[in-house]
Amino acid sequence: MNVASPRERHPHIGRVLTLSALAAALLTGCGIRSTEVPTDFGPAPSRVRCSLSEPNVSTQASRGLPVQVFLLCGSQLVAVERTVRVPDGTADSERRVLVAQGLLDALEASPSADEKEAGYTTDVRGAMSVSSPRRDDPDDTLRLSTPPHDLTSYALAQIVCTFSDSTAAEGDGSVILGGPTEEPPRRYECTDEVRTRPGSNDPPSTEVTG
């Protein structure tokens, strides 16, 4: 007595197996491995790039003195181009304060649309002002209308690194800042750690005297 095979008893099984084999062959030919479980491709790519197109230097120069300020991006300080207006013939002592005020205004301003899209932000707030050193201060002191120790670690890092990298300071990677009170000013440093981890701690500082 002949016993019919399962494929003979159920001819549709043969068609299903044939179609399955064909589908597997097509997937293999396309370089896609067949799978019975969903594949996790991970999170979508981040839109934070922290990179901008090169600015037009000649156009910026026509608007004022080209400078750089440090904004926050990707939990780090990143320099961006800005301009500051300083009248011709301004005395050096006044020039330092005007440049510092222009830099502070630029830090307080909202980043441009392109900068926001690239992930840039600022933690400097409050329409602060900068004034000249007092009688007992070192000559290169800059007095802020808000005490430096009242600023967030991010905001203080932005101000310290922006000022220390400009003509508002002596160019040695530090800047002397004071507040509106009689409290002695302090010399703040913009270190590599401050640039890469601005929110971890306040910029290192030491008290100075005139």
pLDDT tens-digit readout, 81-124? 999 998 888 888 789 999 999 999 999 999 999 999 999 999 99
pLDDT over threshold 70, residue 4? no
Dump pLDDT digits (tens) for 115-167. 999 999 999 998 899 999 999 999 999 999 999 999 999 999 999 999 999 98
Reduced to 3 states (helix: H, G, I; strand: E, B; else coil), residue 89 is coil
Most confident of the ranges 16-20, 70-74, 89-93 = 70-74
d(CA 84, CA 163): 13
Angle at alpha carbon of residue 156, lines to 153 and 130, rounded to 5°: 155
The alpha-carbon radius of gyration of the chain (Å, integer) is: 31
Share of the chain above pLDDT 70, in %: 71
Q: Are 204 and 132 in contact (CB under 8 A)?
A: no
pLDDT band at 2 (very low <50, low <70, confident <90, very high): low
Q: Is the pTM above the cut of 0.85? A: no
d(CA 184, CA 99): 23
Amino acid sitting at position 23? A
Reduced to 3 states (helix: H, G, I; strand: E, B; else coil), residue 70 is strand
